Structures are given as C-alpha cells and as structure tokens.
A = this chain, B = another copy of it.
Amino acid sequence: MRGGLPCLTTVFEVRAVLDEARRESHTVGLVPTMGALHEGHLSLIRAARAANDVVVVSIFVNPTQFGPREDFARYPRDLERDRRLCEEAGADLIFSPSGDEMYPEGFSTWVDVEGLTVGLCGRSRPGHFRGVCTVVGKLLNICGPDRAYFGEKDAQQLAVIRRMVHDLDMRVEIVPCPTVREADGLAMSSRNVRLAPEERAQAPALYRALTAAKNLVAEGERDVATVEGTIRGMLAFEAPLGRVDYIEIVRADDLSPVTTASGQCLMALAVFFGGTRLIDNVPVTV
C-alpha cells in the first residue's frame, strides 16, 4: 500500500494503537464496513469524526454473512479508493484484516440473535445475521469503541446489533445514521455499481413506491395488505426487471409483522435485479 491513512491488518496492531489512544483518555468511534465505500459510509465516518477523538473504519468483506449462493466473491473491493475516501472523510485509521486474521483455523464460536432475525432479510438469507453478529461482536471486542456507527438503510441489521449489544452487556453506544440517497432517491449501496444500466434506471422505483405507500398511510389507509399491494403494484409497473423478495410492514421495535398500521412502523422491502439484491425502508408513524 502507498502512503496516506494507516491501514492496519492485525488485531494486535489495531489494539496497540487504540490502547495508546485510550491511555490518553481519547474516545474511539468505530465505523464497521465491507469497503466499496459510498456517501452512506462517509456520512457514518463524518458522524464518528464529529463525536470522537479517534475514528477507526474497519474494512472487511465478511465471508460468514454471505450465503453459499450469494455474492461474496463478486462483492466490490477497492481498498486504495476506500483509503482515500476514509482520509477525506476524516478517519484516523483503517482496520483491514484478512479472512484468516478474523477466522483462523479452528474458529467455532457464533453469536446468534433470535426473533428479530426470523423475518425480512433473515428469511431469504439464513445465517446472514449470525455472520453479522459474530463479526460485529469481534470488531467491537477488538476495537473497544465508545461508539459504533450503522446506517438505517440496513434497518434489521441495526435492530439486531442493538439487541446483541444490549443482551450481551457490551459497552458501546450504537449510533444510527439516516439512509443516504442518490438524487433520484435510490438508497446508496455498494451493490448499486453492479446494476446494469436498465436496472439502475428502474431501481429508484423502490424508494418511490415506499414513499407513495407512506403517503397512503398518512392519508388514512391502515390495512397493511392494501399498502403492501400498492407497493407491489407500483414495482410491477415501474421496475419490471425487479423480482420482489419481500415487502413488509413491521413494528419498529421488534420487527414483528403487523396487519394494521399503528404506532411506530417500518416499511421495508428487498428486490432482486438479476443477482443483485437491493433493500430499502422508510419509517412510518401512525
């Protein structure tokens, strides 16, 4: 690697640096990422920068959160570009371990959150959140941050990690950050670059459909089947290349499905364009 932001690859090194920071009573903010950074990640880094003395960005394409038929091998990787972006956004340090550093021979411990992981993305990605919890648990233990930053685009991931941190008494503040969108409304995702031009042109329909559904609820519609049907209809019309994985309205706190919209809800969906799976969500308060 060329000069610029320090990019550490071992647990030992990153601990040594962060221990030194803590000895000087510096606070530490962690932004866990899988690289291929976009404006969403950069907003997390800037939020961490504003609130902590030291900002660590972890860049690790975590194999254990990908299913056997998912896109681990194809997941976009560009560490040089990521490093430049981290530096510009104000990070102090990158932790970019190898697969063997995180999962050495004999690795056999897993963190599981039940309940919250059953529906939504959990249904079509069995084992995904086990991989997420395990790697985030490890990253939190390795870095020992005061705060860790996660995007609201991954709403279920955020809820699951909060649950894990609370249940296991991990000492870190989980800071959620709003979804960052392209000008046309498409939620930023590292996977967007993998969309073909005609898929990319249709992808903003996801957010338009969620927004239309939110307006429908604001106008008084409470029947979830009707609202979900509206989203499905809009997607069929505006994103015919998309294949819906799920469209669901769930309670914001425990992600349990609702049949009648009330209280704090989340409208969430996942749509495949070819092999690329996009997710998005909007909060709805009735």
Chain A positions near chain B (C-beta within 8 angstroms): 11, 15, 106-116, 133-134, 137-138, 141-142, 144, 163-164, 167-171, 254
Contact = CB atoms under 8 A, between A and B. Distances in A.
| Secondary structure type dominating chain A contacts | mixed
Q: How many copies does the complex hold?
A: 2
Nearest to A15: B171
27 contacts: A11-B169, A106-B163, A107-B167, A108-B113, A108-B115, A108-B116, A108-B167, A109-B111, A109-B113, A109-B114, A109-B133, A109-B164, A109-B167, A109-B168, A110-B111, A110-B112, A111-B111, A111-B112, A111-B168, A112-B112, A137-B168, A138-B167, A138-B168, A141-B168, A141-B171, A142-B169, A144-B171
A161 B133 CA distance: 18
A144 B168 CA distance: 12
> 9 nearest interchain CB pairs?
A109-B167, A141-B169, A108-B114, A108-B115, A142-B169, A109-B164, A109-B113, A110-B112, A138-B169
